[in-house]
Amino acid sequence: MGTNVVSGTALAIVIGTGSETYFGQLAQRVTSQDEQPNAFQGRYQQSKLAIDPLHVGDDANRVAH
């Protein structure tokens, strides 16, 4: 894909620029951040949510004593 010109002349009609081109769409996909976590991140988040209340309870016990 793309165009390489070594020498000569040409006439071209532009049919798309920026994100309207294949390369533009590819660049947009590569540089955009995926909002959905991968499998590891999802499990980590679930584990963190399950463990964090235990830490809060543990800290409360330390303060009370």
Residue 59 has pLDDT above 70, yes or no: no
Question: Token match 């947009």: residue?
Answer: 28
* Residues 6+ positions from 44 with CB-CB distance below 8 Å: none
Domain range holding 46? 18-64
In this structure, what DSSP letter does residue 14 have?
-
Percentage of the chain exceeding pLDDT 70: 48
Q: What is the mean pLDDT of residues 37-43?
A: 69
Count of structural domains, the chain:
1
Q: How far apart are CA 62 and CA 32, in angstroms?
A: 44
Contact between 18 and 24 (Cβ < 8 Å): yes
- Asked whether residue 58 is domain-assigned, the answer is yes
pLDDT (average), residues 15-39: 82
Q: Angle at the Cα of 24 (from 15 to 36), degrees rounded to 5? A: 140
pTM of structure: 0.37
Rounded to the nearest integer, the mean pLDDT of the chain is 74
